[in-house]
Chain A
């Protein structure tokens, strides 16, 4: 959510580079309409989202909600699944409309589509899962600016057929959910000694020996610390993978790069710039 446009951009470039070898497979398949190959492509998309290009662990994208709502595992899952729903729906619709939406106005069009789905998800949560609605609060509407969603729309859904796009959204969303769940679990265990609200580490009270929760981990500073350790671990993993000759997909978020530079790149917000400039 701390999307500076650059996150989108960087995703775009990464995914575009990959596009040559990955993306064309499903296109070829859809020509053959071989259902078996289609299934394979869809599974590949899910694998890609959850493991190979996991938005949190590998790409380091969408860190804003990652930190804000992961005070507990259940909030992490809630946020992850809400984002997944928005991702799947927006990928689906944008893929359907990919030949209708003119290139020059694609960014505002994507934003409209994504914002509509986010609002729909917000109503559904408010009506049917009110407790989650209250604990996620303002971060639900902020899903709109989550760079994963606009990033996938721009780099995948707007260039690929409906089915693979749908599964791409599903895979990325699930990968995001897994990441949020993991961070939420760590913070909940360290910060409260609980898992999904159940006390697993007996607390020290009334002179009894036990665990003293490190409350700081459910508070804001703890979020920064957990993420810092995650980034450090990924730095090590990345280095090892490179030594083995199997490099991971490059990190795409602002945590990986300097924001200033991406302003010069063809960022997604400068997509809007172009559009406005022409219109005026």
Chain B
């Protein structure tokens, strides 16, 4: 009996020490991790809005209304995470960057930021979190696919598996229709949200 108590105590001690140590490391790495994700986010904004000098939080952004908007839209399986205003050096508005998380990726969620100018032209998207199949879904990060969205001023994008015939059509990544559709829908949601806030 005594031995069991001793063993249990030693094990508990090891676990407690390990837990405390982890807590310390967690605190110590919290800052770099936050910095990395912040930098990542800023890079994504910059990628989709090269002309912009800095980005400011869109003050009227509100998670509840954004959620209601998403529910009512044609693309309910997404979440609008954030919206920022892209500004130039003189603080003039250039457009918006809207970040959307899609819940319909092939292997889990994917998050992207879409840059849209005040005129409604899509500058492009930048993925901040993606975990799709290498060689298939991951091609969403490659130029042939993402460049299809760039510089287009359309009502909404439409995914096709055939040859692209219209301005708003996007050719799906071969073998990765699910990922392609998730991204197209996320961009579409960002576009319609942009319209709702830009009147």
**Direct A/B contact, Cβ within 8 angstroms:** yes
B14-22, B160-168, B191-199 - the one binding chain A: B14-22
B4 touches A218 (CB 8 A): no
Contact partner, B32, options A97, A113, A127, Cβ 8 Å: A127
Question: Is the pair A116, B18 in contact by a Cβ cutoff of 8 Å?
Answer: yes
Contact indicator A219/B136 (Cβ below 8 Å): yes
Closest chain A residue, CB of each to CB of B134: A71
User: Contact between B4 and A279 (Cβ–Cβ < 8 Å)?
Assistant: yes
The segment from A5-13, A39-47, A101-109 found at the interface with B is A101-109
Residues of B within 8 A of A101 (CB): 10, 14
B57 at the interface (CB under 8 A from A): no
**Could you list 27 examples of A-B contacts with CB < 8 Å?**
A97-B14, A100-B10, A101-B14, A102-B6, A105-B7, A105-B10, A105-B11, A112-B14, A113-B14, A119-B22, A119-B25, A120-B25, A123-B29, A123-B33, A126-B36, A127-B32, A127-B33, A128-B32, A130-B36, A130-B40, A134-B129, A134-B130, A137-B131, A191-B135, A219-B134, A275-B7, A279-B4
Q: How many residues of B contact A (CB 8 A)?
A: 30
Q: Which of B3, B18, B29, B135 has the most CB of A within 10 A?
A: B135
- A200: CB under 8 A from chain B? no
Residue of A nearest to B175 (CB): A215
Nearest 9 A/B pairs, CB to CB: A127-B32, A218-B135, A116-B18, A123-B29, A71-B134, A127-B33, A127-B29, A102-B7, A105-B7
Chain B contacts for A134, CB-based, 8 A = 129-131
B146 to chain A, nearest CB (A): 17
Would you give the shortest CB distance from B82 to chain A, in whole angstroms?
A: 19
- Chain A interface residue count, CB cutoff 8 Å, equals 32
> Are B15 and A112 in touch, CB under 8 angstroms?
yes
Whether A102 touches B10, Cβ cut-off 8 Å, given contacts A134-B129, A137-B131, A192-B135, is yes
Is B133 an interface residue, CB under 8 A from the partner?
yes
Does B26 lie at the interface of the complex (its beta carbon under 8 Å from any beta carbon of A)?
yes
Residues of A at the B interface (CB closer than 8 Å) are 71-72, 97, 100-102, 104-105, 108-109, 112-113, 115-116, 119-120, 123-124, 126-128, 130, 134, 137, 191-192, 215, 218-219, 275, 278-279
Which residues of B are in contact with A by a Cβ distance under 8 Å? 3-4, 6-8, 10-11, 14-15, 18-19, 21-22, 25-26, 29, 32-33, 35-37, 40, 129-131, 133-136, 175
B134 x A72 contact (CB < 8 A): yes
Main SS at interface, chain A: helix
Q: Is the CB of A219 within 8 A of B10?
A: no
Task: List the A side residues contacting B36 at CB < 8 Å.
Answer: 126-128, 130
**What is the minimal beta-carbon distance from B93 to any residue of chain A, in angstroms?**
31
Among A124, A128, A192, A279, contact of B8 (Cβ-Cβ < 8 Å):
A279
Contacts of A278 in B (CB 8 A): 4
Q: Which residues of A contact B7 (CB under 8 A)?
A: 102, 104-105, 275, 279
User: A17 vs B3: C-alpha distance in the bound complex, in angstroms?
Assistant: 30
**Chain A residues in 8 Å Cβ range of B26:** 123
Expressed in whole angstroms, the Cα–Cα distance for A192 and B134 within the complex equals: 10
A123 to B25, CA, bound (A): 8
Other than A102-B10, A115-B18, A215-B135, give 15 A-B pairs with Cβ distance below 8 A: A71-B134, A101-B14, A105-B7, A105-B11, A112-B18, A113-B14, A116-B22, A119-B25, A123-B33, A126-B29, A127-B36, A130-B36, A134-B129, A219-B133, A219-B135
Set of chain A residues within 8 Å of B136, measured between Cβ atoms? 215, 219
